[in-house]
Structure 1
Amino acid sequence: MGIVQSIFNYILNMGAPVFVPIILIIVGLIVRMKFKDALSSGITLGVAFVGMGLIISFMMGSIGPAAQQFVKNTGIQLNAIDSGWTALAALAWAWPLAFFMFPIQIGVNLIMLAIKQTNTLNVDLWNVWGKILTAVIVAAVSNSMTLAFIVAAGQMVLELKIADVNQKQIQKVTQIPGVTSTHSMTLFGVILYPLNKLLDFIPSMNKQIDANWLKQKLGIFAENHIMGFIIAVLIGVFAQLSFAQTLTLGVQGATALTLFPMVSKLFMQALSPLSDATSEFMQKRFKGREFYIGLDWPIMAGCNEVWVTAIILIPFMLGFAVTLPGNSVLPFAGIINLSVAVPALIVTGGNLLRMIVLGIVTTPIFLYLATSFAPIVTNLAIETKSVQVPKGQMISWSTLEYPDFRYIFAHAANGEIFGILGAIVWLALYVWYYKGMKARSLKIEDENAESTV
């Protein structure tokens, strides 16, 4: 067992840009792709992951310090450092039982495929660390390893089911056929869905305002580089940066928004041949059944609405951080809130205005739950020695993915009444979301059928 664990840990430590392409090359060969085509698709996907990571790191490195300067200017002391996802991933992998989550995820997926409870093959196995983190949090709150694994396994089931009903919407906004996202951040759509339904009652919210609409109405001011420049300059002004620093930040923002859609095209280039080969292979063996490849969220990174939403939310997050009573988290490494922007893209169908509104409304949820998790995360970091924590401070993640699910089910596992009731309500909302997105998928299928007639 130790040797097997060492091999898997070695491969996983390579990171998503290496691990996921290896899995896709193997899947490609299984579905009878030519070796050169499978190799080309795999390496192109690796390039796409690295490219997206470089741009996000560049963006964080540019905007993060400006955000920190803004909070510093207020004079307010916040003692929980936002260490972002990397620190929490390190903490998750340091958990002694982390390795067991890997075969559990594969087993759950294969069983659900066999009994026809999902059509999604999740190859995004690197992000199993998210389920490990869920288990770590549940175990810390409930002191039960058994319940920790039960909740994590339940999360795997829920994310596969939601990946199925999200697929048509994801394909519609990305134009990449046969793929969906199995990233657990899509679970936050359960909270966003009823809020999005409420927006139906506001007439101005019923217009489909997306990046293309903005280009038609605003012309050059809606171009990626111009929007990126303007938004970044405004952040620089809020942070009281010098004139030169503000202009530099503006150009950096313009650079990021210009490069995102360019890199995203690589995902389509890599995944389309694999999707076609998988579809042909499966149709020969399972007639009448449609299968999807489950991947990480960056397949949606080419949608400008994601980045415009995430950047516009920055000043709101900073404002909430310094004004919300009881918040102790200083947004920094997690300042780009993809944890709400990505599920909001799916829930709203890419409606930019709705995405921004949903992001503003739910930002306090992220800050308050990040504050709640800070003592747990800090204690785990100290115990595992996986992350260095400055004396007298705590660490957390200001935009922790699907914090509602983790908080509610951790406290439900602990036998707390509000946690149990919260879990019942959350699952009811999940069913509502599932049925609503399934109905939307059927509508999209009908529209596609009419357009081909």
Structure 2
Amino acid sequence: MQEVAGFFQNVMSLGSYIVLPILIFIIALILGTKIDKAFRSAILIGIALIGINLMTKFLGDNLGPAVKQMSQNAGLNLDILDVGWGAVAGAIWSTPMGVVGIPLILVFNIALIIFKLTKTLDIDIWNYHHIVTAGVLTYTATDSVVLGFLGMLLMAFVIFRLADWSAPIIQKFYHLPGISLPTNSALAPLIIAVPMNYFLDKIPFVRKSKLSFDSLQKYLGVFGEPAIMAIVIGLGIGLVAKYSVKNTLTLAMNLAAVMVILPKVISILMDGLSAIQASSKEFLEKHMKGREVFLGLDAAVAIGHPSVLTVSLILIPLAILIAAILPGNRMMPFADLTAITFRMILVVALVRGHVLKTLLIGIVIIAQILICGTITSPLITKVYLSLGNTLPNGIAGIASFSAGSLFTGFSVIQLLSFSITGLAISGVMWLLFFLLQKQEQAKAIKLAEAASDAE
């Protein structure tokens, strides 16, 4: 197992934009895609991943300093630092449990598909860190290796099933046939969003509001175009950050550039996937009697949608305000603020870009992340320090917008560590999700189909 784990670690070191195209090429050949088309698809997908990484880094590089300045202007003095998912994932992969995580989860995923317990084949191995983190933090909380691995497998099962559930919604809304998104950072908000969407529809004012991000241009004219909206939001962020005129205008133009370029990068990805999707359909009909199997990709494939980018640019500065006034919060949002885009991908699809619903659900999700991050910070801090790291001066602990902050991972940890309060809160939210998930899924699909017919 140690040798197998070492092999996977060496493979991962090549980078996602190299390994994923290779995996796509192999899978495409297995599905019966002609070698030239499989090669073209793999190269285009690799190019798109590079473009997505460049644009998300560019977004972070521009928003990061502005967010830091806004925090300083607000006088926030919170003692748990959001160090970002990358730092947390790096710590998790360095643990003994992290070493065996990839091969174990991959074998578990294949077994679930064979026994028809999931439809998702998750080839997004970089985001396995979400699954491994649940296991590592469960072990840290309970000091039980058995419970740690149980937490890892339970987390994997939850993610695969949520990916199955959300697949019809994202396939309709983002036009991704045959795809699911088993990325926990995008899936976890559904446990909050599904019940909230149901109850928000009971409020007449919200229910009657038809304004969506897609329809803003109709009402706002040129100011409703994604690029112009990014300019306006960028000017607002620069104003709150007390930037100079030059820096404010630069920030605004850079945000507008992301809003225009990122969707074009996603179109390259979709071009690369088209040949594989056709072969996949033929393969399943021929060899699996038409059984449905989804190719599980990184949720980044949907990050370029204008509705996702727009709501994220609005919520990022709001996260600072929420952190400042939220009772019980000790977590300072920082490194992972631009990752709010991932938290909104499935929320936007669920409510079909409904402006008021998306913003209200987004605010609650950010509040949940901050509180759960505060509660689980001692666990991730213990793991972080055990690897020889040190904390910055004045900081009592670390957290991120992933790890135990996401509601799915938080729930698994609370369940297996037998935390009564956390278990009770998690139980209520999961119960509401299970009671409402079928009708909310059907409603989301119906809205998407109606929109497609209108187009």
User: Please, what TM-score do these two structures have when normalized by structure 2?
Assistant: 0.92
> Which residue in 2 is equivalent to 1:189?
190
CA offsets, 1:63-122, max 9 Å, x none? 111111111123332232221111011011011121322233222222222222222222
> Which residue in 1 is equivalent to 2:297?
295
Q: Distance in 2 between matches of 1:279 and 1:38?
A: 15
Structure 1 pair 147/430, CA: closer, same or farther in 2 (3 Å)?
farther
Say which SS state the counterpart of residue 358 (structure 1) adopts.
helix
> Which residue in 1 is equivalent to 2:126?
126
Structure 2: gaps of 5 or more residues? none
Q: Which amino acid aligns with 1:278?
A: S
Matched, 1:151 2:151: yes
> Which residue in 2 is equivalent to 1:328?
330
Q: Distance in 2 between matches of 1:216 and 1:445?
A: 19
- Quote the offset at 1:27 in angstroms: 0.6
Say which SS state the counterpart of residue 81 (structure 1) adopts.
strand
Q: 2:189 touches 2:365 (CA, 8 Å); kept in 1?
A: no
Structure 1 pair 48/209, CA: closer, same or farther in 2 (3 Å)?
farther
- Quote the offset at 1:58 in angstroms: 0.9
Q: Which amino acid aligns with 2:238?
A: G
Q: 1:228 touches 1:250 (CA, 8 Å); kept in 2?
A: yes
Of 72-81 and 308-317, more deviation after overlay is shown by 72-81
> Which residue in 2 is equivalent to 1:112?
112
2:358 maps to which of 355, 359, 375:
355
> Which residue in 2 is equivalent to 1:72?
72
CA offsets, 1:247-303, max 9 Å, x none? 111111111111121111122111121111111111111224222211110121232
Q: 1:176 touches 1:272 (CA, 8 Å); kept in 2?
A: no
Q: Distance in 1 between matches of 2:125 and 2:402?
A: 22
Number of positions where the alignment pairs a residue of Structure 1 with one of Structure 2: 451
Q: 1:166 touches 1:346 (CA, 8 Å); kept in 2?
A: no
- Quote the offset at 1:193 in angstroms: 0.7
Structure 1 pair 440/292, CA: closer, same or farther in 2 (3 Å)?
farther
Q: 2:130 touches 2:402 (CA, 8 Å); kept in 1?
A: no
Q: Which amino acid aligns with 1:193?
A: V
Say which SS state the counterpart of residue 121 (structure 2) adopts.
strand
Say which SS state the counterpart of residue 121 (structure 1) adopts.
strand
- Quote the offset at 1:398 in angstroms: 4.2
Of 136-145 and 202-211, more deviation after overlay is shown by 202-211
1:417 maps to which of 420, 427, 439:
420
Structure 1 pair 445/281, CA: closer, same or farther in 2 (3 Å)?
farther
1:217 maps to which of 216, 219, 232:
219
Say which SS state the counterpart of residue 353 (structure 2) adopts.
coil
> Which residue in 1 is equivalent to 2:199?
198
Q: Which amino acid aligns with 1:273?
A: A
1:269 maps to which of 268, 271, 276:
271
1:239 maps to which of 238, 241, 246:
241
2:379 maps to which of 376, 379, 404:
376
Q: Distance in 1 between matches of 2:24 and 2:331?
A: 38
Q: 1:173 touches 1:350 (CA, 8 Å); kept in 2?
A: no
Structure 1 pair 158/398, CA: closer, same or farther in 2 (3 Å)?
closer
> Which residue in 2 is equivalent to 1:286?
288
Q: Which amino acid aligns with 1:205?
A: V
Q: Distance in 2 between matches of 1:67 and 1:446?
A: 38
Q: Which amino acid aligns with 1:196?
A: N
Say which SS state the counterpart of residue 290 (structure 1) adopts.
coil
After superposition, residues 254-265 of structure 1 pair within 5 angstroms as 254-265=256-267
CA offsets, 1:172-198, max 9 Å, x none? 221121111111231320111111111
> Which residue in 1 is equivalent to 2:343?
340
Say which SS state the counterpart of residue 212 (structure 1) adopts.
coil
Structure 1 pair 229/376, CA: closer, same or farther in 2 (3 Å)?
same
CA offsets, 1:203-248, max 9 Å, x none? 3433443333111111211112111111011011111111111111
State the percentage of identical aligned residues. 27
> Which residue in 2 is equivalent to 1:317?
319
> Which residue in 2 is equivalent to 1:251?
253
Q: Distance in 2 between matches of 1:160 and 1:30?
A: 22
Q: Which amino acid aligns with 2:346?
A: P
Matched, 1:31 2:31: yes
Q: Distance in 2 between matches of 1:419 and 1:214?
A: 40
Q: 2:4 touches 2:103 (CA, 8 Å); kept in 1?
A: no
Q: Distance in 2 between matches of 1:399 and 1:107?
A: 24
CA offsets, 1:415-444, max 9 Å, x none? 232244344334423423542355347747
Structure 1 pair 424/37, CA: closer, same or farther in 2 (3 Å)?
same
- Quote the offset at 1:166 in angstroms: 1.4
Q: Which amino acid aligns with 1:39?
A: F
Q: Distance in 2 between matches of 1:227 and 1:388?
A: 41
Q: Distance in 2 between matches of 1:41 and 1:126?
A: 20
CA offsets, 1:138-157, max 9 Å, x none? 11112222112212212222
Q: Distance in 1 between matches of 2:404 and 2:258?
A: 23
Matched, 1:408 2:402: no
> Which residue in 2 is equivalent to 1:432?
435
CA offsets, 1:7-56, max 9 Å, x none? 21011123322222221111111111122221221121121112111111
Q: 2:118 touches 2:160 (CA, 8 Å); kept in 1?
A: yes
Q: Distance in 2 between matches of 1:241 and 1:445?
A: 41
Q: Distance in 2 between matches of 1:260 and 1:332?
A: 23
Q: Which amino acid aligns with 1:41?
A: S
Q: 1:275 touches 1:293 (CA, 8 Å); kept in 2?
A: no
